[in-house]
Chain A
Protein backbone atom coordinates (compact mmCIF):
# COMPACT_ATOMS: atom_id res chain seq x y z
CA UNK A 1 0.00 0.00 0.00
CA UNK A 2 1.14 3.53 -0.77
CA UNK A 3 -0.10 6.32 1.44
CA UNK A 4 -0.15 9.90 0.25
CA UNK A 5 -0.78 13.04 2.23
CA UNK A 6 -1.47 16.31 0.46
CA UNK A 7 -1.20 19.66 2.21
CA UNK A 8 -2.50 22.99 1.03
CA UNK A 9 -5.00 25.69 1.79
CA UNK A 10 -8.72 25.86 1.18
CA UNK A 11 -9.39 26.85 -2.42
CA UNK A 12 -6.24 25.25 -3.84
CA UNK A 13 -7.91 22.03 -4.88
CA UNK A 14 -6.22 19.82 -2.31
CA UNK A 15 -9.29 17.65 -1.91
CA UNK A 16 -9.71 17.46 -5.68
CA UNK A 17 -6.07 16.41 -5.94
CA UNK A 18 -6.67 13.44 -3.68
CA UNK A 19 -9.82 12.59 -5.58
CA UNK A 20 -8.02 12.72 -8.94
CA UNK A 21 -5.20 10.61 -7.59
CA UNK A 22 -7.66 7.97 -6.46
CA UNK A 23 -9.45 8.06 -9.81
CA UNK A 24 -6.14 7.71 -11.61
CA UNK A 25 -5.27 4.70 -9.50
CA UNK A 26 -8.73 3.24 -10.19
CA UNK A 27 -8.23 3.77 -13.91
CA UNK A 28 -4.93 1.93 -13.64
CA UNK A 29 -6.79 -1.02 -12.13
CA UNK A 30 -5.80 -0.44 -8.53
CA UNK A 31 -7.81 0.04 -5.35
CA UNK A 32 -7.80 3.58 -4.02
CA UNK A 33 -9.29 5.57 -1.20
CA UNK A 34 -9.21 9.35 -0.91
CA UNK A 35 -10.64 11.55 1.81
CA UNK A 36 -10.16 15.03 3.23
CA UNK A 37 -9.39 16.38 6.64
CA UNK A 38 -10.70 19.87 6.99
CA UNK A 39 -12.95 22.19 8.82
CA UNK A 40 -15.78 24.37 7.66
CA UNK A 41 -15.65 25.69 4.14
CA UNK A 42 -13.18 28.57 4.23
CA UNK A 43 -10.67 29.82 1.72
CA UNK A 44 -7.13 29.93 2.97
CA UNK A 45 -7.41 27.58 5.92
CA UNK A 46 -4.89 24.71 6.04
CA UNK A 47 -6.35 21.60 4.45
CA UNK A 48 -5.09 18.05 4.23
CA UNK A 49 -6.27 15.25 2.04
CA UNK A 50 -5.25 11.63 2.05
CA UNK A 51 -5.02 8.96 -0.56
CA UNK A 52 -4.27 5.29 -0.19
CA UNK A 53 -3.41 3.15 -3.20
CA UNK A 54 -3.13 -0.61 -3.07
CA UNK A 55 -3.67 -3.76 -5.07
CA UNK A 56 -5.96 -5.18 -2.39
CA UNK A 57 -9.18 -3.66 -1.07
CA UNK A 58 -8.46 -0.88 1.40
CA UNK A 59 -10.32 -1.24 4.65
CA UNK A 60 -8.73 1.12 7.11
CA UNK A 61 -10.20 4.56 7.67
CA UNK A 62 -7.60 6.16 9.91
CA UNK A 63 -5.89 9.39 8.94
CA UNK A 64 -2.58 8.94 7.16
CA UNK A 65 -0.12 9.54 9.96
CA UNK A 66 2.82 7.86 8.20
CA UNK A 67 2.72 8.98 4.60
CA UNK A 68 4.91 7.38 1.99
CA UNK A 69 4.44 10.42 -0.18
CA UNK A 70 4.00 14.02 0.89
CA UNK A 71 2.67 16.60 -1.53
CA UNK A 72 2.89 20.21 -0.43
CA UNK A 73 0.80 22.47 -2.62
CA UNK A 74 1.37 25.60 -0.56
CA UNK A 75 4.90 26.21 0.73
CA UNK A 76 3.68 28.89 3.15
CA UNK A 77 2.56 25.99 5.30
CA UNK A 78 6.10 24.70 5.65
CA UNK A 79 6.91 26.31 8.93
CA UNK A 80 3.41 26.63 10.29
CA UNK A 81 1.98 23.16 10.27
CA UNK A 82 3.78 19.95 11.17
CA UNK A 83 3.82 18.93 7.53
CA UNK A 84 6.46 16.28 7.77
CA UNK A 85 5.00 14.47 10.78
CA UNK A 86 5.26 10.75 10.25
CA UNK A 87 7.06 10.91 6.92
CA UNK A 88 9.11 7.78 6.47
CA UNK A 89 12.82 8.04 5.80
CA UNK A 90 12.30 6.35 2.46
CA UNK A 91 9.38 8.55 1.62
CA UNK A 92 8.83 10.97 -1.23
CA UNK A 93 8.37 14.71 -1.02
CA UNK A 94 6.94 16.99 -3.65
CA UNK A 95 6.82 20.71 -3.00
CA UNK A 96 5.19 23.36 -5.13
CA UNK A 97 7.62 26.24 -5.28
CA UNK A 98 9.98 28.20 -7.47
CA UNK A 99 12.50 28.36 -4.64
CA UNK A 100 15.11 25.78 -3.76
CA UNK A 101 14.91 23.60 -0.70
CA UNK A 102 17.55 25.66 1.00
CA UNK A 103 15.76 28.87 0.18
CA UNK A 104 12.63 27.33 1.61
CA UNK A 105 14.60 26.58 4.76
CA UNK A 106 14.18 22.84 4.67
CA UNK A 107 17.32 21.78 2.82
CA UNK A 108 18.95 20.53 6.02
CA UNK A 109 15.78 18.84 7.17
CA UNK A 110 15.38 16.80 4.01
CA UNK A 111 19.06 16.08 3.59
CA UNK A 112 18.66 12.59 4.98
CA UNK A 113 16.14 11.57 2.37
CA UNK A 114 17.20 9.88 -0.85
CA UNK A 115 17.84 12.71 -3.29
CA UNK A 116 15.74 11.14 -6.00
CA UNK A 117 12.80 11.09 -3.63
CA UNK A 118 12.48 14.83 -3.29
CA UNK A 119 11.38 17.25 -5.94
CA UNK A 120 10.49 20.90 -6.02
CA UNK A 121 8.10 21.70 -8.82
CA UNK A 122 6.98 25.16 -9.97
CA UNK A 123 3.44 23.85 -10.18
CA UNK A 124 1.65 27.17 -9.74
CA UNK A 125 3.57 28.57 -12.69
CA UNK A 126 2.63 25.53 -14.75
CA UNK A 127 -0.95 26.14 -13.76
CA UNK A 128 -0.78 29.73 -14.93
CA UNK A 129 0.70 28.57 -18.21
CA UNK A 130 -2.05 26.07 -19.02
CA UNK A 131 -5.01 27.23 -16.98
CA UNK A 132 -4.37 30.95 -16.55
CA UNK A 133 -4.63 30.54 -12.77
CA UNK A 134 -2.04 29.33 -10.27
CA UNK A 135 -3.61 25.89 -10.09
CA UNK A 136 -0.96 23.62 -8.64
CA UNK A 137 -2.80 20.39 -7.98
CA UNK A 138 -2.83 18.85 -11.44
CA UNK A 139 0.82 19.61 -12.24
CA UNK A 140 1.76 18.12 -8.89
CA UNK A 141 -0.08 14.91 -9.76
CA UNK A 142 1.89 14.62 -12.96
CA UNK A 143 5.03 15.14 -10.90
CA UNK A 144 3.84 12.45 -8.49
CA UNK A 145 3.60 9.97 -11.33
CA UNK A 146 7.14 10.75 -12.43
CA UNK A 147 8.69 10.80 -8.99
CA UNK A 148 7.10 7.72 -7.48
CA UNK A 149 6.07 5.61 -10.45
CA UNK A 150 3.05 4.44 -8.46
CA UNK A 151 0.78 5.27 -11.37
CA UNK A 152 1.66 6.38 -14.86
CA UNK A 153 1.01 9.74 -16.47
CA UNK A 154 -1.66 8.33 -18.76
CA UNK A 155 -3.77 7.29 -15.79
CA UNK A 156 -3.38 10.73 -14.22
CA UNK A 157 -4.41 12.44 -17.43
CA UNK A 158 -7.35 10.11 -17.88
CA UNK A 159 -8.60 11.04 -14.42
CA UNK A 160 -8.41 14.71 -15.36
CA UNK A 161 -10.30 14.26 -18.57
CA UNK A 162 -13.00 12.37 -16.70
CA UNK A 163 -13.36 15.07 -14.09
CA UNK A 164 -13.09 18.17 -16.27
CA UNK A 165 -14.98 18.36 -19.52
CA UNK A 166 -13.59 19.26 -22.93
CA UNK A 167 -10.78 21.78 -23.22
CA UNK A 168 -10.52 22.19 -19.46
CA UNK A 169 -9.72 18.50 -19.17
CA UNK A 170 -7.12 18.80 -21.93
CA UNK A 171 -5.52 21.82 -20.30
CA UNK A 172 -5.25 20.00 -17.00
CA UNK A 173 -3.82 16.96 -18.72
CA UNK A 174 -1.21 19.19 -20.36
CA UNK A 175 -0.42 20.78 -17.02
CA UNK A 176 0.04 17.32 -15.54
CA UNK A 177 2.41 16.46 -18.31
CA UNK A 178 4.51 19.54 -17.62
CA UNK A 179 4.68 18.56 -13.96
CA UNK A 180 5.71 15.08 -15.00
CA UNK A 181 8.34 16.39 -17.40
CA UNK A 182 9.77 18.73 -14.80
CA UNK A 183 10.60 15.83 -12.52
CA UNK A 184 12.01 13.78 -15.36
CA UNK A 185 14.23 16.60 -16.62
CA UNK A 186 15.44 17.55 -13.16
CA UNK A 187 17.00 14.33 -12.01
CA UNK A 188 18.37 13.30 -8.64
CA UNK A 189 20.20 16.03 -6.82
CA UNK A 190 18.39 18.91 -8.44
CA UNK A 191 16.45 20.57 -5.73
CA UNK A 192 15.21 23.76 -7.22
CA UNK A 193 12.28 24.77 -9.29
CA UNK A 194 14.16 27.82 -10.41
CA UNK A 195 15.42 26.63 -13.76
CA UNK A 196 11.97 26.02 -15.10
CA UNK A 197 10.82 29.41 -13.97
CA UNK A 198 13.81 31.16 -15.50
CA UNK A 199 13.36 29.29 -18.73
CA UNK A 200 9.96 30.89 -19.01
Chain B
Protein backbone atom coordinates (compact mmCIF):
# COMPACT_ATOMS: atom_id res chain seq x y z
CA UNK B 1 0.00 0.00 0.00
CA UNK B 2 1.37 3.38 -0.91
CA UNK B 3 1.12 6.21 1.56
CA UNK B 4 0.99 9.89 0.91
CA UNK B 5 1.78 12.48 3.48
CA UNK B 6 -0.95 15.07 3.70
CA UNK B 7 -0.26 18.34 5.42
CA UNK B 8 -3.06 19.96 7.33
CA UNK B 9 -3.00 23.70 7.74
CA UNK B 10 -4.77 25.01 10.77
CA UNK B 11 -6.38 28.45 11.02
CA UNK B 12 -5.39 30.84 13.72
CA UNK B 13 -1.71 29.99 13.54
CA UNK B 14 1.16 32.41 13.56
CA UNK B 15 1.54 32.32 9.82
CA UNK B 16 0.92 35.41 7.80
CA UNK B 17 -1.96 35.26 5.37
CA UNK B 18 -3.52 31.87 5.38
CA UNK B 19 -5.54 30.71 2.39
CA UNK B 20 -8.07 29.00 4.62
CA UNK B 21 -9.00 32.28 6.27
CA UNK B 22 -11.80 34.55 5.16
CA UNK B 23 -10.59 37.44 3.11
CA UNK B 24 -11.32 39.93 5.86
CA UNK B 25 -9.37 37.90 8.41
CA UNK B 26 -6.23 37.80 6.34
CA UNK B 27 -3.42 40.08 7.24
CA UNK B 28 -2.63 43.29 5.41
CA UNK B 29 0.82 41.91 4.77
CA UNK B 30 -0.58 38.98 2.84
CA UNK B 31 -2.36 41.23 0.38
CA UNK B 32 -1.00 42.09 -3.02
CA UNK B 33 -2.36 45.57 -2.60
CA UNK B 34 -0.47 46.29 0.59
CA UNK B 35 1.06 49.72 0.34
CA UNK B 36 4.66 48.79 1.22
CA UNK B 37 4.79 52.13 2.96
CA UNK B 38 8.25 51.25 4.18
CA UNK B 39 9.62 49.87 0.96
CA UNK B 40 12.50 47.46 0.47
CA UNK B 41 15.96 48.88 -0.05
CA UNK B 42 16.22 50.42 3.40
CA UNK B 43 19.41 49.91 5.34
CA UNK B 44 18.22 48.01 8.42
CA UNK B 45 20.29 45.17 9.88
CA UNK B 46 19.48 41.62 8.99
CA UNK B 47 16.70 40.40 11.22
CA UNK B 48 15.73 43.89 12.46
CA UNK B 49 12.55 43.65 14.49
CA UNK B 50 11.84 47.36 14.14
CA UNK B 51 11.83 47.30 10.34
CA UNK B 52 9.37 44.44 10.52
CA UNK B 53 7.19 46.15 13.09
CA UNK B 54 7.14 49.42 11.18
CA UNK B 55 6.25 47.75 7.93
CA UNK B 56 3.41 45.84 9.56
CA UNK B 57 2.12 48.79 11.50
CA UNK B 58 2.23 51.45 8.81
CA UNK B 59 0.77 49.24 6.09
CA UNK B 60 -2.08 48.41 8.46
CA UNK B 61 -2.51 52.11 9.27
CA UNK B 62 -2.54 52.99 5.58
CA UNK B 63 -5.23 50.43 4.87
CA UNK B 64 -7.32 51.71 7.74
CA UNK B 65 -6.83 55.32 6.63
CA UNK B 66 -7.62 54.58 2.98
CA UNK B 67 -4.08 55.66 2.16
CA UNK B 68 -4.57 59.14 3.62
CA UNK B 69 -1.82 59.08 6.20
CA UNK B 70 1.09 61.27 7.28
CA UNK B 71 3.87 59.77 9.37
CA UNK B 72 6.20 61.63 11.73
CA UNK B 73 9.35 59.87 12.88
CA UNK B 74 11.69 60.53 15.76
CA UNK B 75 15.44 60.25 15.33
CA UNK B 76 16.60 56.69 15.73
CA UNK B 77 17.26 53.46 13.90
CA UNK B 78 14.05 53.51 11.89
CA UNK B 79 14.57 57.08 10.76
CA UNK B 80 18.21 56.56 9.93
CA UNK B 81 17.94 53.33 8.01
CA UNK B 82 14.84 54.39 6.11
CA UNK B 83 16.05 57.76 4.84
CA UNK B 84 19.64 57.51 3.60
CA UNK B 85 19.91 60.78 1.69
CA UNK B 86 19.25 61.16 -1.17
CA UNK B 87 17.01 58.10 -1.00
CA UNK B 88 13.99 57.32 1.06
CA UNK B 89 12.26 54.01 1.65
CA UNK B 90 9.01 55.78 2.55
CA UNK B 91 6.25 55.82 -0.01
CA UNK B 92 4.02 57.96 2.17
CA UNK B 93 4.39 61.60 3.32
CA UNK B 94 6.94 61.34 6.06
CA UNK B 95 8.87 63.76 8.22
CA UNK B 96 11.70 63.54 10.67
CA UNK B 97 12.31 66.55 12.89
CA UNK B 98 14.20 65.85 16.14
CA UNK B 99 14.83 63.11 18.65
CA UNK B 100 12.55 64.34 21.38
CA UNK B 101 9.68 65.99 19.54
CA UNK B 102 7.90 63.44 17.35
CA UNK B 103 4.72 63.53 19.46
CA UNK B 104 4.61 67.33 19.32
CA UNK B 105 5.36 67.49 15.60
CA UNK B 106 2.57 64.99 14.99
CA UNK B 107 0.23 67.10 17.14
CA UNK B 108 1.14 70.04 14.94
CA UNK B 109 0.37 68.14 11.74
CA UNK B 110 -2.96 67.08 13.20
CA UNK B 111 -3.74 70.69 14.13
CA UNK B 112 -2.87 71.90 10.65
CA UNK B 113 -5.12 69.28 9.08
CA UNK B 114 -7.92 70.31 11.37
CA UNK B 115 -7.41 73.99 10.58
CA UNK B 116 -7.60 73.21 6.89
CA UNK B 117 -10.58 70.90 7.21
CA UNK B 118 -8.77 67.80 5.93
CA UNK B 119 -10.70 65.39 8.12
CA UNK B 120 -9.84 62.33 6.07
CA UNK B 121 -6.08 62.54 6.57
CA UNK B 122 -4.71 60.72 9.63
CA UNK B 123 -1.50 61.15 11.57
CA UNK B 124 0.86 58.55 12.94
CA UNK B 125 3.94 59.31 15.02
CA UNK B 126 6.64 56.74 15.56
CA UNK B 127 9.78 56.43 17.58
CA UNK B 128 12.01 53.98 19.37
CA UNK B 129 11.97 53.43 23.09
CA UNK B 130 14.61 56.11 23.67
CA UNK B 131 12.65 58.76 21.82
CA UNK B 132 9.40 57.75 23.48
CA UNK B 133 10.25 56.78 27.02
CA UNK B 134 13.05 59.22 27.73
CA UNK B 135 13.82 62.27 25.65
CA UNK B 136 10.39 62.61 24.07
CA UNK B 137 8.49 61.83 27.24
CA UNK B 138 7.49 65.41 27.97
CA UNK B 139 6.12 65.91 24.49
CA UNK B 140 4.42 62.52 24.62
CA UNK B 141 2.68 63.36 27.86
CA UNK B 142 1.59 66.69 26.43
CA UNK B 143 0.11 65.02 23.37
CA UNK B 144 -1.71 62.55 25.63
CA UNK B 145 -3.15 65.12 27.98
CA UNK B 146 -4.36 67.30 25.12
CA UNK B 147 -5.86 64.19 23.55
CA UNK B 148 -4.46 65.22 20.15
CA UNK B 149 -5.52 63.30 17.05
CA UNK B 150 -2.42 61.17 16.80
CA UNK B 151 -1.62 57.47 16.96
CA UNK B 152 1.81 57.14 18.52
CA UNK B 153 3.66 53.91 17.89
CA UNK B 154 6.70 53.01 19.97
CA UNK B 155 9.06 50.38 18.63
CA UNK B 156 10.67 49.09 21.78
CA UNK B 157 14.02 47.38 21.31
CA UNK B 158 14.88 48.22 24.88
CA UNK B 159 17.92 50.47 24.41
CA UNK B 160 19.42 53.30 22.34
CA UNK B 161 20.49 51.10 19.48
CA UNK B 162 21.31 53.56 16.74
CA UNK B 163 23.96 55.20 18.89
CA UNK B 164 25.56 51.89 19.76
CA UNK B 165 23.48 50.09 22.39
CA UNK B 166 23.09 52.28 25.45
CA UNK B 167 20.60 51.89 28.24
CA UNK B 168 17.21 53.60 28.07
CA UNK B 169 14.30 53.84 30.45
CA UNK B 170 12.91 50.78 28.70
CA UNK B 171 15.94 48.56 29.17
CA UNK B 172 14.88 45.49 31.18
CA UNK B 173 16.51 44.47 34.47
CA UNK B 174 19.90 42.78 34.19
CA UNK B 175 20.25 43.46 30.47
CA UNK B 176 23.75 44.29 29.36
CA UNK B 177 24.16 47.47 27.36
CA UNK B 178 27.22 49.60 26.80
CA UNK B 179 26.21 51.86 29.68
CA UNK B 180 25.02 49.03 31.95
CA UNK B 181 27.87 46.63 31.48
CA UNK B 182 28.02 43.14 32.89
CA UNK B 183 30.64 44.06 35.48
CA UNK B 184 30.78 44.88 39.15
CA UNK B 185 28.48 43.94 41.96
CA UNK B 186 25.28 44.38 40.01
CA UNK B 187 26.07 43.52 36.40
CA UNK B 188 23.72 44.72 33.70
CA UNK B 189 20.81 47.11 34.11
CA UNK B 190 19.65 47.66 37.67
CA UNK B 191 16.59 45.88 38.96
CA UNK B 192 13.97 48.37 40.11
CA UNK B 193 14.63 51.06 37.50
CA UNK B 194 12.77 51.81 34.29
CA UNK B 195 9.31 52.96 33.34
CA UNK B 196 6.25 51.23 32.00
CA UNK B 197 5.02 53.67 29.39
CA UNK B 198 1.92 51.70 28.35
CA UNK B 199 0.71 52.00 31.93
CA UNK B 200 1.70 55.66 32.04
CA UNK B 201 -0.26 56.17 28.83
CA UNK B 202 -3.22 54.50 30.49
CA UNK B 203 -2.85 56.81 33.47
CA UNK B 204 -3.41 59.74 31.10
CA UNK B 205 -6.79 58.25 30.37
CA UNK B 206 -6.36 58.34 26.61
CA UNK B 207 -8.88 56.47 24.47
CA UNK B 208 -6.67 53.53 23.49
CA UNK B 209 -3.45 51.92 24.64
CA UNK B 210 -2.16 48.57 23.45
CA UNK B 211 0.98 46.46 23.51
CA UNK B 212 1.91 44.32 20.54
CA UNK B 213 4.75 42.18 19.27
CA UNK B 214 6.23 41.34 15.89
CA UNK B 215 5.67 37.74 16.91
CA UNK B 216 1.93 38.09 16.44
CA UNK B 217 1.21 39.84 13.16
CA UNK B 218 -2.55 39.38 13.24
CA UNK B 219 -2.75 40.87 16.68
CA UNK B 220 -0.49 43.78 15.80
CA UNK B 221 -2.42 44.68 12.67
CA UNK B 222 -5.76 44.35 14.44
CA UNK B 223 -4.64 46.71 17.14
CA UNK B 224 -3.44 49.28 14.63
CA UNK B 225 -6.74 49.00 12.77
CA UNK B 226 -8.67 49.43 16.01
CA UNK B 227 -6.62 52.45 16.96
CA UNK B 228 -6.99 54.02 13.54
CA UNK B 229 -10.73 53.74 13.84
CA UNK B 230 -10.76 55.82 17.00
CA UNK B 231 -10.41 59.49 17.78
CA UNK B 232 -8.07 61.23 20.15
CA UNK B 233 -4.63 60.23 21.41
CA UNK B 234 -3.78 56.56 20.98
CA UNK B 235 -0.65 54.62 21.88
CA UNK B 236 0.68 51.29 20.72
CA UNK B 237 3.86 49.86 22.20
CA UNK B 238 5.45 47.19 20.01
CA UNK B 239 8.16 44.84 21.23
CA UNK B 240 10.82 44.53 18.55
CA UNK B 241 13.96 42.44 19.04
CA UNK B 242 17.27 43.89 17.94
CA UNK B 243 19.66 41.08 17.02
CA UNK B 244 22.69 43.32 17.31
CA UNK B 245 21.82 44.94 20.62
CA UNK B 246 20.32 41.84 22.20
CA UNK B 247 22.96 39.50 20.89
CA UNK B 248 20.47 37.17 19.27
CA UNK B 249 20.59 35.32 15.99
CA UNK B 250 19.07 37.47 13.22
CA UNK B 251 17.22 34.39 12.04
CA UNK B 252 15.59 34.08 15.49
CA UNK B 253 13.96 37.50 15.71
CA UNK B 254 10.42 36.11 15.60
CA UNK B 255 11.29 33.32 17.99
CA UNK B 256 12.83 35.73 20.50
CA UNK B 257 9.79 37.96 20.30
CA UNK B 258 7.53 34.98 20.78
CA UNK B 259 9.43 33.80 23.82
CA UNK B 260 9.04 37.22 25.39
CA UNK B 261 5.27 36.94 24.94
CA UNK B 262 4.93 33.28 25.91
CA UNK B 263 7.01 33.69 29.06
CA UNK B 264 4.79 36.53 30.19
CA UNK B 265 7.63 39.05 30.17
CA UNK B 266 5.96 41.07 27.42
CA UNK B 267 2.21 40.91 28.02
CA UNK B 268 -0.10 41.70 25.09
CA UNK B 269 -3.11 43.71 26.17
CA UNK B 270 -5.47 46.51 25.21
CA UNK B 271 -6.77 49.31 27.36
CA UNK B 272 -9.42 51.92 26.83
CA UNK B 273 -9.77 55.11 28.83
CA UNK B 274 -7.29 53.86 31.40
CA UNK B 275 -8.67 50.36 31.94
CA UNK B 276 -7.38 47.07 30.58
CA UNK B 277 -10.18 45.59 28.44
CA UNK B 278 -8.55 42.61 26.75
CA UNK B 279 -5.40 40.58 26.59
CA UNK B 280 -3.88 37.82 24.49
CA UNK B 281 -3.56 34.61 26.42
CA UNK B 282 -0.33 32.68 26.47
CA UNK B 283 -0.60 29.57 24.32
CA UNK B 284 2.26 27.57 25.75
CA UNK B 285 3.86 29.08 28.79
CA UNK B 286 7.60 28.94 28.94
CA UNK B 287 10.04 29.84 31.66
CA UNK B 288 11.86 33.11 31.19
CA UNK B 289 15.05 31.18 30.68
CA UNK B 290 13.85 30.07 27.27
CA UNK B 291 13.81 33.72 26.37
CA UNK B 292 16.96 34.84 28.13
CA UNK B 293 19.12 32.06 26.76
CA UNK B 294 18.59 33.31 23.19
CA UNK B 295 20.32 36.61 23.90
CA UNK B 296 23.92 37.32 24.85
CA UNK B 297 22.83 40.50 26.64
CA UNK B 298 21.74 38.12 29.41
CA UNK B 299 24.67 35.75 29.06
CA UNK B 300 26.24 36.94 32.32
CA UNK B 301 23.23 35.46 34.16
CA UNK B 302 24.32 32.01 33.06
CA UNK B 303 28.07 32.23 32.70
CA UNK B 304 30.51 31.81 34.29
CA UNK B 305 27.89 30.66 36.80
CA UNK B 306 24.15 30.84 37.07
CA UNK B 307 22.70 33.86 38.84
CA UNK B 308 19.69 32.18 40.35
CA UNK B 309 18.58 35.29 42.16
CA UNK B 310 18.51 37.41 39.04
CA UNK B 311 16.76 34.76 36.99
CA UNK B 312 14.22 34.33 39.76
CA UNK B 313 13.65 38.07 39.85
CA UNK B 314 12.97 38.11 36.13
CA UNK B 315 10.68 35.11 36.49
CA UNK B 316 8.83 36.99 39.22
CA UNK B 317 8.21 39.89 36.85
CA UNK B 318 6.82 37.47 34.26
CA UNK B 319 4.64 35.77 36.87
CA UNK B 320 3.33 39.11 38.02
CA UNK B 321 2.28 39.96 34.48
CA UNK B 322 0.54 36.61 34.16
CA UNK B 323 -1.42 37.38 37.28
CA UNK B 324 -2.13 41.04 36.53
CA UNK B 325 -3.37 40.46 33.02
CA UNK B 326 -4.80 37.00 33.44
CA UNK B 327 -2.56 35.64 30.73
CA UNK B 328 -3.29 32.01 31.58
CA UNK B 329 -6.89 32.35 32.58
CA UNK B 330 -9.33 30.23 30.71
CA UNK B 331 -12.07 32.80 31.02
CA UNK B 332 -12.02 36.57 30.46
CA UNK B 333 -10.44 39.06 32.84
**Whether chain A touches chain B in the assembled complex (some CB pair under 8 Å):** no
